[in-house]
Amino acid sequence: MSLGLGAMALQALQSSGVAFRKILSHFPEELSLAFAYGSGVYRQAGPSSNQKSAMLDFVFTVDDPVAWHSKNLKKNWNHYSFLKVLGPKFITTIQDNYGAGVYYNTLIMCDGRVKIIAMNENVILRSALDKNLRSAVTAAFLMLPESFSEEDLFIEIAGLSYSGDFRMVVGEDKTKVLNIVKPNMAHFRELYGNILQENPQVVYKIQQGRLEIDKSPEGQFTQLMTLPKTLQQQINHIMDPPGKNRDVEETLLQLAHDPDCGEVVRLGLSAIVRPSSLRQSTKGIFTAGMKKSLHYSSLKLHKMWKGWLRKTS
């Protein structure tokens, strides 16, 4: 479940654990993982960046969505759109079967600011989070040249989820990814530093902030083979000519020798993100409600307009 929370006090950011527990107390306790992200948590570049007024975005993961929504409906009935009258099972069906598998709500008033605020000791979940970080690094490597800076790498990583997102055409500041990365280089180093140092294909010159990656066909094939299966299958779909029906490994081997390997990976990512982002945004009209959705969209368009004015001035 994703919640856009209008934060009310910057001071809560400094009060760490107490503030975090206070936020969670507004919701049912059965959370596998809860984290917050966005400009309300991590400072972003640009004159429009204001942590005091920025909306705070939460993601909650739960093991039993029906049970969790059932409890949350009793506790926070007014958080939901008209879908609440159809009950927790219907809400869960909408959450799981459409878009990105997320039930999204926005403009909920709450208090405090937070990063990762709760995580159960779940080995499978922790493994999935670690695998996700490593997959992001590998995908970024494939789209970068042989030598690049830390900033180049982190911009590619931060931009993965926006690749193909229609909101980057309408509704988002075009400098969004750069604005995320520049003020948060230390956070990115902390998150990805060990992965980069442990990777045998990478020469990580920490003092210079530079990296070199093996771009040989053998090196690229190794990277392609470690990508998530969904992305591998999408790449196979892009490259497989009609009637050929090659297996994925054969396609990836061919791609490893292709000078446009990085661009094909980018196309594969876009093909995954684009339909999901469109369906999820459409679903948000129903989960958040028309009034909230229009308000939220107007805020995004205003932010995009300000970014465009900065660029042209």
Predicted confidence at residue 19, as pLDDT, reads: 57
**Nearest-angstrom CA–CA distance, 235 and 257:** 14
How would residue 101 be classed by pLDDT, with cut points 50, 70 and 90? confident
pLDDT for residue 104 is more than 60 = yes
How would residue 100 be classed by pLDDT, with cut points 50, 70 and 90? confident
Read off the pLDDT of each residue in 134-154 and give the average, rounded to a whole number.
96
What average pLDDT does the structure give for the chain? 78
Q: How far apart, in Å, are the Cα atoms of 178 and each of 76, 164, 218, 263, 307?
A: 36, 17, 31, 20, 12
How would residue 246 be classed by pLDDT, with cut points 50, 70 and 90? confident
Q: Quick: pLDDT tens for 30-85.
A: 888 887 776 666 666 665 455 555 566 778 888 899 999 999 999 999 888 888 99
Predicted confidence at residue 106, as pLDDT, reads: 75
**Nearest-angstrom CA–CA distance, 74 and 141:** 47
Read off the pLDDT of each residue in 195-213 and give the average, rounded to a whole number.
95
Give backbone dihedrals phi and psi of 106, rounded to 5 degrees, phi first: -145, 165
Question: Which residues contact residue 63 at a Cβ distance below 8 angstroms, ignoring those fewer than 6 apart?
Answer: 30, 32
Predicted confidence at residue 86, as pLDDT, reads: 93
**Do 180 and 42 form a contact (C-beta atoms < 8 A)?**
yes
Residue ranges per domain, the chain? 2-120, 123-275
Lowest mean pLDDT among 167-171, 247-251, 255-259: 167-171
In three-state form (DSSP H/G/I as H, E/B as E, the rest C), the secondary structure along 159-224 is HHHHCCCHHHCCCCCCCHHHHHHHHHHHHHHHHHHHHHHHCCCEEEECCCCEEEECCCHHHHHHHH
**Nearest-angstrom CA–CA distance, 32 and 121:** 8
Predicted confidence at residue 85, as pLDDT, reads: 92
pLDDT for residue 131 is more than 90 = yes
Q: Specify the pTM.
A: 0.68
**Nearest-angstrom CA–CA distance, 78 and 241:** 52
**Nearest-angstrom CA–CA distance, 218 and 54:** 45
Predicted confidence at residue 307, as pLDDT, reads: 56
Token pair listed for 220: 């690229």
- Annotate 41-79 with b (16+ C-beta within 10 A) or e (fewer): bbbbbbebbebeebbbbbebbbeebbebbbbbbeebeeb
pLDDT for residue 310 is more than 90 = no
DSSP 225-289: HTS-HHHHHHHHHHH--TTT---HHHHHHHHHT-TTHHHHHHHHHHHHHHHHHHHHHHHHHHHH-
Give backbone dihedrals phi and psi of 112, rounded to 5 degrees, phi first: 95, 170
**Do 280 and 293 form a contact (C-beta atoms < 8 A)?**
no
Q: Quick: pLDDT tens for 210-226.
A: 999 999 999 999 999 99
Read off the pLDDT of each residue in 76-96 and give the average, rounded to a whole number.
90
Predicted confidence at residue 251, as pLDDT, reads: 94
Specify whether the backbone of 257 is left (phi greater than 0), alpha (psi in -120 to 50) or beta. Answer: alpha
Predicted confidence at residue 41, as pLDDT, reads: 61
Q: State the DSSP code for 63.
A: S
Predicted confidence at residue 227, as pLDDT, reads: 96
Which residue from 163, 158, 141, 136 is spatially nearest to 221, judged by alpha carbons? 141
Predicted confidence at residue 116, as pLDDT, reads: 52
**Nearest-angstrom CA–CA distance, 173 and 222:** 35
Which residue from 201, 275, 270, 259 is spatially nearest to 235, judged by alpha carbons? 270
